Chains A and B, each alone.
Chain A
Amino acid sequence: MITVENLRKSYGELQILKGISTQISHQEVVVLIGPSGSGKSTFLRCLNGLEKTTNGKIEIAGMELTNPETNIHDLRQHVGMCFQQFNLFKHLTIMENITIGPMKVLKKSKAESEQIARELLKKVGLQNKEQDYPDQLSGGQQQRVAIARALAMKPKVMLFDEPTSALNPEMVGEVLNVMSDLAHEGMTMVIVTHEMGFAREVGDRVLFLDDGYLVEEGTPVEIFERPKEERTKNFLAKVL
């Protein structure tokens, strides 16, 4: 589903990603962990072209993202993303937040888009919030709407960048539950998170990033219980 070959990213002289290669298969749930500033967000944002790669090759769902001839907007329809700060469209209602993609990008009718939105709102447990504005919702609710907004495009892959980091602790669970459901339905997911319990439970594979290198990857059991690399051990000692 996703192939990353020798991905490099620099800001001017500053190298952020220093040659990352990995493959993510259909329906796989991959969790990205690593210290702050290690390049997790940058890596994720390269996967939907929000950051331009400096070097290397990324292929998603048969489309080569790093090929300048690929239409990036078409590709992004297939790659959903959820942000740490939710980024719901402030001036639109919850319903409009979800329908704007299907209507304006996929050119579906209003009725059909609203139908999709209602089903998704039901799925994330917010069917009675259609006419509210984002700032009337709690953080956890906003993040669930953001997930619904991404799903409305029927993506093949979902990217999550610390989706629960900006939430009060009591709201973390409701968002993680929606994400687990999604994983169980077979969505291909790449998740940056500090929720190690969730990573262990839902992840098929864990990637440990440090200083722009993919230091170690393996199943949750391999990474959390038998890490091979010194850097992985040090990091886990701090966070577990």
Chain B
Amino acid sequence: MQVVLENLPQILEGLKFTVYYSIVAIILAVIFGLIAALMKLSKSSVLSGFASVYIEVFRSTPLLVQLFFIVFGLTGLLPLNEWFGQRSYPIIAATITLALHEGAYISEIIRAGIQGVDRGQKEAAASIGMTEFLTMRYIVLPQAFKRMIPPLVNQSAQTIKDTSLLAPIGIIDLVYRGQIVIATTFEPFAIWLTIGLIYFILIFSVSQFAGYLERRLQLDNR
């Protein structure tokens, strides 16, 4: 207990990064996911083909391998460390990789949301002369987003879990800080327990929030 309290500032410093990477990754992932979903639904087979390849590649390989490949593998091909900086490239690359990984799942959530909008809504929009773009922007997406909020919040919980894989590639987060603290205190049980607890509180509250939103949205079903 004493050990945990003494090292809590260090651990919470790690938590700060975990939260920070999660937020950035989720925001980027929604953007990537939206682009991929729209590409996949587009009439152009080239665009939808690209989107399918992206989605399948990122869903069918482990995140850890994706991280190693993009953060370390690609530097064997291109002088990325020079372009982006020795210290910042791994952080940028890891965040984007995490976002691409989550984006692949989010694109499927968004696609299902878009396809779940009643066809009559699109036809009504078309009948008053709205273009496909206007229809998507003002009619389909606003209705789809409501439906998508609970699964998106769930995916955010998943993203928080996935940030723990940033530690093995040397990026400071909750897990990474924990490992450092253990290396100096030799108290793996107490520290891992604390870290587990922090993750639990964080992720449990997010998924409870998703459940709450789901119930709310069912109530006012607009």
- A90 with B128: in contact, given A100-B138, A105-B134 (CB under 8 Å)? no
B130 at the interface (CB under 8 A from A): yes
Which residues of chain A are within 8 angstroms of B121 by Cβ–Cβ distance?
87, 89-90
- A90 with B126: in contact, given A83-B120, A85-B120 (CB under 8 Å)? no
B127 at the interface (CB under 8 A from A): yes
Against B, the Cβ 8 Å flags (1 = close, 0 = not) of A69-85 are 00001101101110101
Whether A105 pairs with B128 at a CB distance below 8 angstroms is yes
Which residue of chain A lies nearest to B120 when distances are taken between CB atoms in the complex? Answer: A87
Which residues of chain B are within 8 angstroms of A100 by Cβ–Cβ distance?
128, 130, 138
Whether A91 pairs with B128 at a CB distance below 8 angstroms is no
For chain B, give the interface size range.
20 to 34
Against A, the Cβ 8 Å flags (1 = close, 0 = not) of B116-139 are 001011011111111100100011
Which residues of chain A are within 8 angstroms of B215 by Cβ–Cβ distance?
none
Contact of A73 among B120, B129, B139, B143 (CB under 8 A): B129
A48 at the interface (CB under 8 A from B): yes
Whether B129 pairs with A101 at a CB distance below 8 angstroms is yes
Interface of B is mostly: helix
CB proximity of A104 to chain B, nearest CB, Å = 5
Instruction: Give the most central of B123, B128, B221, B222: most A CB within 10 Å.
Output: B128
Whether B128 pairs with A150 at a CB distance below 8 angstroms is yes
- A104 with B138: in contact, given A73-B130, A73-B131 (CB under 8 Å)? yes
Which residues of chain A are within 8 angstroms of B129 by Cβ–Cβ distance?
73-74, 76-77, 101, 105, 153
A149 at the interface (CB under 8 A from B): yes
Interface of A is mostly: mixed
CB proximity of B125 to chain A, nearest CB, Å = 8
Which residues of chain A are within 8 angstroms of B124 by Cβ–Cβ distance?
81, 83, 87-89, 146, 149
Which residue of chain A lies nearest to B122 when distances are taken between CB atoms in the complex? Answer: A87
Contact of B222 among A79, A83, A90, A150 (CB under 8 A): A90
Q: How far is the CA of A10 from the CA of B138 in the complex (A)?
A: 32
- A91 with B130: in contact, given A83-B120, A83-B123, A83-B124 (CB under 8 Å)? no
- A90 with B143: in contact, given A50-B123, A85-B120, A133-B222 (CB under 8 Å)? yes
B196 at the interface (CB under 8 A from A): no
Whether B130 pairs with A89 at a CB distance below 8 angstroms is no
Q: How far is the CA of A50 from the CA of B131 in the complex (A)?
A: 12
A229 at the interface (CB under 8 A from B): no
- A81 with B146: in contact, given A87-B121, A100-B138 (CB under 8 Å)? no
B168 at the interface (CB under 8 A from A): no
Which residues of chain A are within 8 angstroms of B126 by Cβ–Cβ distance?
50, 76
Q: How far is the CA of A149 from the CA of B129 in the complex (A)?
A: 12
- A81 with B127: in contact, given A104-B134, A105-B134, A135-B222 (CB under 8 Å)? yes
CB proximity of A147 to chain B, nearest CB, Å = 12
Q: How far is the CA of A89 from the CA of B120 in the complex (A)?
A: 9
Whether A101 pairs with B222 at a CB distance below 8 angstroms is no
B142 at the interface (CB under 8 A from A): yes
Q: How far is the CA of A48 from the CA of B127 in the complex (A)?
A: 7
Q: How far is the CA of A135 from the CA of B123 in the complex (A)?
A: 19
Which residues of chain B are within 8 angstroms of A88 by Cβ–Cβ distance?
124
Q: How far is the CA of A81 from the CA of B126 in the complex (A)?
A: 10
- A77 with B142: in contact, given A87-B120, A89-B121, A135-B222 (CB under 8 Å)? no
Extra pairs beyond A85-B120, A150-B128 (20, CB < 8 Å): A50-B127, A73-B130, A74-B129, A76-B128, A77-B128, A77-B129, A80-B127, A81-B124, A83-B120, A87-B124, A90-B143, A91-B142, A100-B128, A101-B129, A104-B130, A104-B134, A105-B128, A105-B129, A135-B222, A152-B128
